[in-house]
């Protein structure tokens, strides 16, 4: 395993590495369960005082589960095949504590925010909703039974330019509007108003309505209030330059903005301008006048439109190139497939 955060791996739970169904059955049947009200019947896989972290269970006669924090991490079958699941806590720190759950000559690794299972010279991506299956074929020898096919996402050169060109009338109008001398240089209310227009079109609460609702008993106890508040802040897409913003997209919001700026001029152009200004405008301080200002240049607007286009028209703008067995893709361009939902 490559070094993550300065260490190779831990074995906090004191788990012993085994490599067959029979060995785990022997471990299961030969270990006394925990005697406590909270964890009655739990059988530790390693140290007894770490049973909450590592435990073993046998839901039926043909299945052994090696559990990490109560969730199956590896399941074994009588034919010595085993399936690897994503860890409950998907992080570099968790990965460093999982090595003993796998048989010898296999290991977990952390690759750019993703869990990877390594076997010989091959690496297999273990995404949060995927599993990988292996089978023992000899002493410390295993073969892959099933894993997801992996693809590299490669952009088609200039594929977004046709769509951006369709927005030229909007961009010309945008430059003209911003050239007016008496324009408000820091239009905070206008930018929020533009985003509220988007919220209304999406059937969501306005900013003021959301704030009032958040102060009610229902709002304060709602499990998604904080997450939705964070996601609403930069709909439908925030550039990576904005502090604490994510490179993800609200698909319906992106489609709406693109529709507005390719249709004939209307009041929706105003809303689109302020939405784009808020999410892609360049903020600067006017020292002579002691004021903050924001400006959306044509280049910045075109770049922002191109981002929306690459998400909405992903299939047109990118190719999926199959990778060989045991290869894992880079994270290049995956952000254009990253979406989020707004429900409030």
**pLDDT, tens only, 310-328:** 999 999 999 999 998 888 8
The mean per-residue pLDDT over the stretch 156-177 comes to 95
Distance of alpha carbon 5 from alpha carbon 2, whole angstroms: 10
Give the pTM: 0.77
The pLDDT assigned to 179 comes to 85
7 has a pLDDT exceeding 60:
no
Q: 3-class secondary structure for 74-140?
A: EEECCCCEEEECCCCCCCHHHHCCCHHHCCCCEEEEEECCEEEEEECCEEEEECCCCCEEEEEEECC
**pLDDT, tens only, 8-29:** 568 899 999 999 999 999 999 9
The pLDDT assigned to 325 comes to 80
């Amino acid at each position: 395993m490559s070094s993550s955060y300065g260490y190779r791996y831990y074995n906090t739970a004191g788990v012993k590495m085994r490599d067959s169904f029979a060995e785990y059955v022997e471990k299961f049947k030969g270990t006394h369960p925990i005697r406590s009200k909270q964890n009655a019947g739990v059988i530790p896989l390693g140290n007894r005082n770490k049973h909450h972290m590592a435990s073993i269970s046998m839901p039926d006669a043909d299945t052994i589960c090696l559990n990490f924090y109560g969730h199956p991490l590896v399941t074994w079958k009588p034919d010595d095949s085993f399936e690897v699941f994503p860890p409950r806590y998907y992080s570099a720190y968790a990965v460093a504590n999982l090595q003993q759950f796998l048989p010898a000559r296999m290991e977990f690794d952390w690759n750019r925010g993703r869990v990877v299972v390594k076997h010989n010279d091959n690496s297999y991506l273990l995404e949060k909703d995927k599993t990988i299956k292996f089978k023992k074929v000899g002493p410390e020898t295993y073969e892959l039974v099933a894993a997801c096919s992996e693809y590299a996402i490669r952009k088609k050169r200039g594929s977004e330019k046709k769509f951006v060109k369709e927005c030229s009338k909007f961009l010309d109008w945008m430059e003209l509007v911003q050239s007016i001398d008496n324009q408000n240089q820091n239009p905070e209310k206008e930018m929020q108003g533009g985003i509220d227009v988007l919220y209304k079109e999406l059937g969501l609460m306005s900013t003021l309505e959301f704030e009032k609702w958040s102060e009610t008993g229902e709002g304060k106890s709602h499990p998604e209030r904080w997450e939705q508040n964070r996601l609403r802040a930069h709909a439908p897409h925030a550039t990576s330059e904005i502090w604490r913003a994510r490179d993800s997209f609200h698909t319906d919001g992106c489609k709406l903005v693109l529709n507005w700026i390719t249709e004939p001029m209307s009041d929706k152009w105003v809303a689109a301008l302020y939405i784009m200004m808020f999410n892609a405008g360049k903020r600067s301080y006017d020292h002579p006048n002691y004021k903050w200002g924001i400006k959306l240049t044509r280049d910045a607007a075109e770049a922002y439109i191109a981002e929306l286009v690459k998400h909405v028209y992903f299939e047109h703008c990118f190719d999926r190139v199959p990778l060989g067995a045991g290869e894992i893709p880079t994270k290049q361009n995956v952000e254009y497939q990253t979406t989020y939902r707004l429900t409030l």
